[in-house]
Amino acid sequence: MKIVLNVVAVLLILAGGVWFLQGINILPGSIMSGQTQWVINGAIAVLVGISLLVFANRRNISPPKS
């Protein structure tokens, strides 16, 4: 499950980055170029991807056994 979450997180980060760059018109040539909505969508996708990556890779700290 951890591998699947990591793959999904990385894909979200990459896709969100592309959407963000197209939204701010750094990657032109698409219907998304220069559109504020894609800047917002891209930023949200990147943040969700980073959160998912952190969640998938956090360590469960269990209390020491007596």
Q: Where are the domains of the chain?
A: 2-56
pLDDT, tens only, 14-28: 999 999 999 999 988
Q: What is the pLDDT of residues 50-61, one digit of tens each?
A: 999 999 998 776
Distance CA 7, CA 41 (A): 19
Decide if pLDDT at 65 tops 90. Answer: no
Distance, in Å, from the CA atom of 4 to the CA atom of 18, rounded to the nearest integer, reads 21
Beta strands in 1-64 (DSSP E): none
Residue 44 has pLDDT above 70, yes or no: yes
